[in-house]
């Protein structure tokens, strides 16, 4: 129990140290206060954002777009990766496509998204899909390639079809890699979504990225930092409140991860 509490205590101490250091730097007035607000000003901007500026609604809208793009991207990655491992010619083509597309930053595709889909939710979902499908496909394909040949031979010997091999052998054996790809993909998708919302500005459906742009335009730096805190908190909740719990209750318990 003591060992489990040590990392949490270290994290709490670190956060307190950052807050104290921030306040010390603010009191030293190294930068103008309008550019480097106090912790109190950021806290007030955070409350005002939710109470007066509909920050909660913007966050929910961004999370809705994120979830839609993630579901589409994950399903597409699993389906395409399964086809790749089943048909060798398709594997050669798709593996090359993944290697190329994974190198393209989402921001570089924003002009194309605008021309194809216009400025709005569809373009943002497109950015999310791009951010998640390639790392997810890479993790899934690598997981498929790492499956011991013994598993594959057993499946063939008992007469499994290609579809049965994928659902009964490949996917179960690759679950840790798929889960790792989901963790990488969601983080990239979250960053891509916020970047797209910031670039689109008021032309897109309002999300947390637009809130940051709006506060910057109005020189409300406290509001910008408040939105950044919200982004960080959401990331922590998803990482520790969802992914870590799933990992502990499944893969670690099953001995598939340390």
pLDDT score recorded for residue 171: 77
- Mean model confidence pLDDT for the chain: 84
- The model's pLDDT over 73-103, given as tens digits with 9 standing for 90+, comes to 989 998 998 888 888 888 889 989 998 998 8
Please count the CA atoms within 13 angstroms of the CA of 71 that sit on its side-chain side: 5
- The model's pLDDT over 22-51, given as tens digits with 9 standing for 90+, comes to 999 999 988 888 889 999 999 999 999 999
According to CATH, the topology of domain 53-254 is MetI-like fold (1.10.3720)
Residues 6 or more apart from 190 whose CB is under 8 A from it? 66, 231, 234, 235
pLDDT score recorded for residue 1: 47
Residue 131 and residue 149 in contact, taking contact as beta carbons nearer than 8 Å: no
Say whether pLDDT at 18 is over 50.
Answer: yes
Whole-number Å distance between alpha carbons of 95 and 93: 6
Split at pLDDT 50, 70, 90, the class of 251 is low
Of 18-27, 121-130, 179-188, the one with minimum mean pLDDT is 179-188
Whole-number Å distance between alpha carbons of 73 and 129: 5
Averaged over 211-216, what is the pLDDT? 89
Split at pLDDT 50, 70, 90, the class of 258 is low
Query: Mean pLDDT highest for which of 14-18, 186-190, 192-196?
Result: 14-18
Residue 140 and residue 81 in contact, taking contact as beta carbons nearer than 8 Å: yes
Cβ neighbour number for residue 233 with a 10 Å cutoff: 12
pLDDT score recorded for residue 123: 87
pLDDT score recorded for residue 233: 92
Whole-number Å distance between alpha carbons of 192 and 226: 19
Whole-number Å distance between alpha carbons of 205 and 201: 9
Q: At what angle do helices 55-86 and 221-238 cross, to 10 degrees?
A: 40
127-152 b/e (C-beta count within 10 Å ≥ 16 → b): bbbbbbbbbbbbbbbebbeebeeeeb
pTM: 0.82
Residue 134 and residue 98 in contact, taking contact as beta carbons nearer than 8 Å: yes
CA distances to 151, 169, 171, 199 from 154, rounded to whole Å, are 5, 9, 15, 52
Q: Which residue has the higher pLDDT, 143 or 204?
A: 143
Taking the domains of the chain in order of start, what are their residue ranges?
53-254
């Amino acid at each position: 129990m003591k060992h489990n509490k040590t990392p949490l205590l270290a994290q709490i101490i670190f956060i307190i140290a950052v807050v104290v250091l921030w306040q010390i730097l603010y009191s030293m007035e190294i930068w103008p206060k309008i550019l480097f607000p106090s912790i109190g000003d950021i806290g007030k901007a955070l409350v005002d954002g939710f109470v007066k500026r509909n920050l909660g609604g913007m966050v929910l809208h961004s999370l809705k777009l994120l979830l839609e793009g993630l579901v589409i991207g994950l399903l597409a990655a699993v389906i395409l990766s399964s086809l790749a491992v089943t048909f060798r010619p398709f594997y050669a083509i798709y593996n090359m496509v993944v290697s190329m597309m994974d190198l393209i930053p989402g921001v570089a595709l924003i002009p194309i998204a605008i021309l194809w889909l216009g400025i709005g939710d569809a373009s943002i979902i497109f950015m999310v899909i791009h951010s998640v499908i390639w790392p997810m496909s890479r993790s899934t394909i690598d997981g498929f390639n790492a499956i011991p040949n013994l598993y594959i031979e057993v499946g063939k010997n008992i007469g499994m079809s290609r579809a049965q091999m994928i659902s009964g052998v490949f996917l179960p054996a690759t679950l840790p890699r798929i889960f790792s790809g989901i963790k990488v993909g969601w983080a990239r998708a979250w960053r891509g979504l916020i970047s797209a919302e910031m670039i689109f500005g008021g032309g897109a459906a309002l999300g947390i990225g637009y809130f940051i742009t709006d506060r910057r335009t109005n020189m409300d730096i406290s509001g910008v930092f408040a939105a950044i805190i919200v982004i960080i908190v959401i990331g922590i909740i998803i990482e520790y409140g969802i992914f870590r719990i799933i990992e502990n209750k499944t893969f670690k318990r099953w001995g598939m991860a340390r």
